[in-house]
Amino acid sequence: MLFKSKEVIVSEQSFVVKDRNQCLKVEGWGRDTVRVTCYPNHKGFDPKQGIEELEKNVLTTATVTETSDQLILTNNRLTATYDGEKLVFYNNGTIILEEYSRKQSQVRRTVGIDTHIPIPDEPTSSLNISPREFTYSGENTYQATLRFEGDPNEKLYGMGGYQEENFNKNGGTYELMQRNSQTSIPFYLSDKQYGFIWNNAAIGEVTFGYNQKIWKSNNTNLIDYLVTVGENPKQIIENYTQMTGRTPRLEPELLGLWQSKLRYQTLDELRTVYEGYNQRGISLSVLVVDYYHWTSDGDFAFDSRYWEGIEDFAEEIKKTGTQLMVSLWPTVTEESRYYQSYRNNQLLIRSVTNKDSLFAGKALLDFFHPESKTFLRQVLDENYRSKGISLFWADQAEPEMDVYQHKEYLIYEGSLEKYANKYPLHYLQAIQKNPERSNTEPTLIRSAWFNAQKYGALAWSGDIESSFDSLRRQVQVGLSMGISGITWWTSDIGGFHSGNSQSPVFKELMIRWFQFAVFSPILRMHGDRQPHTQKIGNSGGGVRTSGGPNEIWSFGEEVEGILTRFIHIRTRLKDYIRDVYNESATKGLPIMRSLFIEFPDDPKSWEETTHYLFGSDLLIAPVVTEGATHIPVYLPKGCNWIQVFTKKVYPGGQIYKIAVTLNTIPVFCKEGAPLEHHLADIFGN
């Protein structure tokens, strides 16, 4: 073999290759999946940097074959070959992914008389670029780089949620970092019928260049990635979610309207909102108490001056099917009753200069520390669950910082930069009452990572602007998050940062966003509306102002009438939505689905960026342009489609110009689906 300077160890389902610098391991990992790990020889494998609950989806049947010039690992449909420099991956014999290597042939640098050495007839390069590199970055750590050949025609979907309109990530550069309104989950699904996991939580970057795909992680001693294949996108997603986890089953009672705003200041105000919906015959699923209901950041307790009797109210509204949710923040001020305890027990993220202030003059809890998790569960039991409140909103989950310089901060495990993208996962685990077993209660959270879905993560897209451009971006964010395994997803209806909430443009935006949200996983009102009301005190829960009204009746009679109509449609769709949620729990499939998930053989389904399927049978075309009277809609080929509001039938495989009014958006049902027989009852005649 051409591995003269390397040590090779072959076992039944893996092989290991060591040279003077690196150790490379290639192994079968469940069904149709290969895992590749590489690290500097003098270091070793740090499993805490990656997915700690990475399951082998089924019993592995991989085999390893040695030839004169290759090691070949075959795992059902997937084959990986190694020639001493690079790995190449095949799905049923077709190349799908190839590491990028530009090295000279080994004989060209042989010491001696070169004139008698035969030169192989094979590609060679003097660039001296390896597929896998570790660059020393000081303090006994490295920057890891992994390269693959690029393909300008490939389509890549997933990667979490980035605030852009590009659904296909090929050609883009993406920061591997959690930010407010940015969720980094480094998994993508390719139209070449494979999925790819970059299994490293360190801060980094990926460039999906047309010439090279380049992954980089800072402050790491590890390259760890997985490739999984299937016959179609559904199989790939099933493989992926079997490894990283699936959602629990959601209570059907939570599928209605969630009411929230920045922020209800008192129990009296909250009660008035609840009664307003009751008077209109609308049963809320969830009513939300936002931030600064507490005495101080880090106390995790209601300020009794404004929330006396909250436990009685929680019990009262639960009888009508409404649950309370409360906001949690990981921020801590020096005024907190627990501040000294947090600090003395090293439960706070700290800077390398030993300062606590990381965000707006406040410290942040270090949820990597086991004692922080234990403490939070205890205070949530004492101050919320004891009052009948078991739904939580994990805000500030990135965590947001004044300056995103993670290398400047220290956590229980060491440098924050090395583990930063897992912070939302540890935050989730701290909130769970019983983290060792499945929990059906969702946690609304502003970021996520691998495994988060197992712990009930309901991600939302963060503090986004109120505009039609923003609405258009949220469609692809929701689709990308679903492909990335986070199938419970929502956005702030109307956007978070709004200008004049009474302007005609905003009212139209509110209608269009609400119509989109009715056909998304969770229907949730939230936002910071203008103008603000004044603060009601000088301490505790009274120190913050409140955004303007954000209930369905807050924007005039016309808006209220349209939103009410769509609430009733959502209610009548509940059985269908419940079944879609159950499919997500059992198979890992998104609730909002890109067209290609159900129609992979239709090339145009891979191109569509603003239309999607809600479950398998409803096609939704949100209106994302101000003042639209018609929008083009592509209906996938292979079946006929029924427009649910007109009952007109359209053959698939064509683009149609569909008329829209403020009261409607294009929604189509697949002809022959069970739902077809209930269209009149659900959507009207």
| Domain locations along the chain | 7-244, 252-463+485-496+505-573, 594-683
Catalytic annotation, pick one of 154, 238, 297, 395: 395
What is the pLDDT, as a whole number, of residue 429?
96
% of the chain at pLDDT higher than 90 = 89
Interstrand relation of 323-328 and 391-394 (parallel, antiparallel or unpaired): parallel
Q: How far is CA 176 from CA 52, 164, 217, 359, 654, in A?
A: 18, 15, 8, 20, 38
The answer to whether the CB of 30 falls within 8 A of the CB of 57 is yes
Give me the amino acid identity at 614.
F
Q: Is 408 a catalytic residue?
A: no
Residue 462 clears pLDDT 70, i.e. is over it: yes
Residue 118 clears pLDDT 70, i.e. is over it: no
How many Cβ atoms sit within 10 Å of the Cβ of residue 654?
13
Handedness of CA 672, 674, 678, 683 (dihedral sign): negative
Structure tokens at 659: 């008329």
Q: How far apart are CA 29 and CA 383, in angstroms?
A: 44
What is the pLDDT, as a whole number, of residue 173?
99
The least confident of 110-119, 174-183, 428-437 is 110-119
Residue 97 clears pLDDT 60, i.e. is over it: yes
pLDDT digits (tens, 9 = 90+) for 596-615: 999 999 999 999 999 999 99
The answer to whether the CB of 414 falls within 8 A of the CB of 366 is no
Average pLDDT, the chain: 95
| Of 111, 22, 162, 232, residue with least CA distance to 479 | 162
Q: How far apart are CA 48 and CA 495, in angstroms?
A: 36
What burial class does residue 6 get, using C-beta atoms within 10 Å of its C-beta: 0-12 exposed, 13-18 middle, 19+ buried? middle
Compute the average pLDDT of residues 638-661.
Answer: 98
Q: How far apart are CA 151 and CA 113, in angstroms?
A: 40
- Assign a CATH topology to domain 252-463+485-496+505-573: TIM Barrel (3.20.20)
Residue 100 clears pLDDT 70, i.e. is over it: yes
What is the pLDDT, as a whole number, of residue 413?
95
The answer to whether the CB of 518 falls within 8 A of the CB of 486 is no
Contacts of 47 (CB under 8 A, 6+ apart): none
What burial class does residue 329 get, using C-beta atoms within 10 Å of its C-beta: 0-12 exposed, 13-18 middle, 19+ buried? buried
* Greatest pairwise CA separation for the chain in angstroms: 95
What is the CATH code for 594-683? Answer: 2.60.40.1180
Q: How far apart are CA 181 and CA 178, in angstroms?
A: 8
Structure tokens at 408: 């400047």
Compute the average pLDDT of residues 580-589.
Answer: 98
Catalytic annotation, pick one of 463, 528, 602, 608: 463
The radius of gyration of the chain's CA atoms, rounded to the nearest angstrom, is 27
Residue 59 clears pLDDT 80, i.e. is over it: no
pLDDT digits (tens, 9 = 90+) for 134-161: 999 887 889 999 999 999 999 999 999 9
What is the pLDDT, as a whole number, of residue 354?
81
Catalytic annotation, pick one of 297, 356, 398, 492: 398
Residue 410 pairs in a beta bridge with 350, 415
Compute the average pLDDT of residues 293-319.
Answer: 98
Is domain 7-244 classified as CATH 3.40.50.2300? no
pTM beyond 0.85 = yes
Q: Is 83 a catalytic residue?
A: no
What burial class does residue 155 get, using C-beta atoms within 10 Å of its C-beta: 0-12 exposed, 13-18 middle, 19+ buried? middle
Compute the average pLDDT of residues 547-572.
Answer: 98
Compute the average pLDDT of residues 343-348.
Answer: 97
7-244 and 252-463+485-496+505-573 share one CATH topology? no
Interstrand relation of 204-208 and 173-176 (parallel, antiparallel or unpaired): antiparallel
Compute the average pLDDT of residues 279-295.
Answer: 98
What is the pLDDT, as a whole number, of residue 536?
95
Q: Is 312 a catalytic residue?
A: no
